[in-house]
Chains A and B, each alone.
Chain A
Amino acid sequence: MRRVRASRSLPALVVALALVVAGCGGAGDGGKLRLTVATFGEFGYEPLFEEYERAHPEVDVVGRVADFDAHHKGLVTALAAGRGAADVVAVEEQYMPRMRQSARQFADLSAFGARELRDRWPRWKWEPGVAEGGDYVFGLGTDMGSLAMCYRRDLFERAGLPTDRDAVAALWPTWEAYAQVAERFAARVPDAAFADSAGTVYTAVLNQAEENYFAKADDSFIGDTNPNVLRAFRIAGAIGAAGRTAKVTTFTQPWNAAINRGGFATITCPAWMLAQIKEAGGADGAGKWDVTEVPGDGGNWGGSYLAVPAQGAHQREAYRLAEWLTAPEQQEKLFVRDGILPSEPEVYRDPVVLEHTDPYFGDAPVGRLFAASSDTVRPNHRGVRDADVRPVFGRALGRVENGAQSVDQAWEQAVREARDVLR
């Protein structure tokens, strides 16, 4: 669910080792079959595990939660070692192209009938979870991020900008307009930034495009010539170079602190980020934030899959659990209780979801906002070596933000480094 631009976690290695040592699977208490489910961040699965256990008394489901980096590094280490992975593991979409390349590390779920589940998801959510021309199903979609814009009503008021969410959306039909609002804001409110970081803006703009660093057709590197990438870089770079960002890296402690003290007025927020804003903002932040439409078209940022490692001893049972966890009924429960956005159109078009509002964000109609953005998602193609290239551009924007380089210099260096890294 939660996606980060580069690895930004702390004791990832320690946790990874601990996970390897911990091992898992096998028989639980009283002869029950124990299934472990490894997730990261907030999947909201605990109550579902209990429900599943009630329906399947012979199964004991154990959840294991780590942070984003620790989880994925632990998973990779366990797969490489051939043991230690949970029976069901979550994989975030940015890791999917790489996992797909090693799809044999995961059970082929089509052997258990997974191909019949295909109609649950839109094509763009289904495809990353299948390999070898679609015959090998290794991942079932959980949530998605969609895209919206979160903004601080109090700061907008101080800046003399409208605070009503429809009026705010009308301020920025495009990202260029968003950048102009940043200037208007800065002229009136000198003590707060407009956006959290150039990187967040960049990710959002890029996620609205179908192709970014790699060509959809043959997965060749096009990051240096693709106008989508350059455009996103220029827009985000200009906002960063003008000093309109708080220069805080997403999900770090300074980022949390900036949310808490109103250090920035807007942030592109996928559905899963609302929980993080609430957590960082605390009770005092209630009612200060609101949610509206994102500039440009809809898009998606983040979302995950459930997979069953091939090293597991109970693959069929693990599949049954994963199939149940990703079923529409469960996705709906997760959204209503924890705001975890369903990736299945049948669910996010359900009135219960569409009418859902969030009191923390001034009763913003988050169900309708995110569903509307989801319907216009243009799935973006992620190259196999996406993870090699993405951080290079993120760091380039960081250099622009702290004034070390101009947008053009940073772009040039990023393109050079990206080419080098792919050699």
Chain B
Amino acid sequence: MPFARWDRRITPYLFVAPFFALFAVFGLYPLLRTAWMSLHRWDLLDGPVAFTGLANYAELFTDPHFYNALANTASIFLAATVPQLLAALGIAALLDRPLRGRTAWQAVVLLPNVVPVVAVALVFTQLLGRDQGLVAWVLASLGASPLDWQAHAWSAHLGVALMVIWRWTGYNALLYLAAMQSVPRELHEAAALDGASRARAFRSVTLPGIRPTLVFTAVVSTIGGLQLFAEPTLFGGASAGGNDRQFQTLVMYLYENGFERFDAGYAATISWVLFALCAVLAFANTALVRRFVGRG
């Protein structure tokens, strides 16, 4: 039966082929093309000007604006991700118990995530407005002086982090919840029989049980954090991220170079460094979570 054998051997590949075809067109090709561009002085309008080898990379690694953007990205990432994942764990733990109207609660928790990022950013920017914002009004009624959120690094980072937390906490909570519900009940029962407190059971049963999901959310948050763009751009109204670049993220710097200064080669260089960073941090994350949570 040569056809059946051929069929069995080839058909699975045909089934997965669409993904790889799409990946080649929208993933691999841009990746390679960007790498090629990063080796040139490449004008967005005029195309390649000169082959410069690794000169763009050399310039980037001595560029203070790059390190500034990197530090801002890291700071906003920490301010956004740590509280976000902790809150998500807490919300998931609250939802993971008999609750009236559970589906409704789950839907509510996910709601912020379905609001488009542009809308979220515009609303938060207005809420945090210096002259007319709701937060300014609350601060004033408490006797505090109005805060120009964009003017200082700490307040700008906090403002951007708030938007990220608002959008993604519920999403992560639902992921955790799904994982928690797949932890075998017998383990919890056994822990209860052994006299473990609720906190102890959470630490020794739940957390190890949802380890793959913890890794997943940590990796996804890291990649999302590194690619942060829309929120801070809309918050400051420009890709420079404040008068002293105090909240310019890496992707904003990429955008500034590529689309405001038309330096596509340099922008491509930044995007490749960003790609490498994402990869490294994803691996580091996996390793870290493994160590802290231990084997299940």
Q: Which residues of A approach B to under 8 Å, CB–CB?
A: 6-11, 13-14, 73, 76-77, 79-80, 98, 101-102, 105, 247-249, 252-254, 257-258, 263, 387-388, 391, 395-396, 398-399, 402, 404, 421
Contact = CB atoms under 8 A, between A and B. Distances in A.
A79 B262 CA distance: 12
Contact of A80 (B45, B131, B132, B255): B45
A11 B244 contact: no
B46 interface: yes
Of the listed residues A80, A263, A395, A404, the one surrounded by the most CB atoms of chain B closer than 10 A to its CB is A80
The 6 closest A-B pairs by CB, nearest first: A398-B243, A102-B45, A395-B243, A402-B151, A8-B237, A399-B243
A7 B239 contact: yes
B240 interface: yes
B87 interface: no
B223 interface: no
Contacts of A395: 240, 242-244
B46 A102 contact: yes
A128 to B, nearest CB: 17
B148 A249 contact: no
B261 interface: yes
21 contacts: A7-B239, A10-B234, A13-B255, A14-B118, A73-B259, A76-B45, A76-B262, A77-B259, A79-B45, A80-B44, A98-B262, A105-B45, A247-B148, A248-B131, A252-B237, A253-B126, A257-B131, A387-B260, A388-B261, A391-B240, A402-B148
Given A387-B260, A402-B148, A404-B243, A76 B237 contact: no
B265 interface: no
A266 B264 CA distance: 40
Given A77-B259, A391-B240, A391-B260, 4 more contacts: A101-B46, A247-B130, A387-B260, A402-B151
Interface string B236-268: 011110111000000000010001111010000
Contacts, number: 71
B130 A11 contact: no
B122 interface: yes
A98 B260 CA distance: 11
A339 B291 CA distance: 68
A421 B263 CA distance: 12
B225 interface: no
Nearest to A413: B244
B232 interface: no
Interface in B109-137: 118, 122, 125-126, 129-132
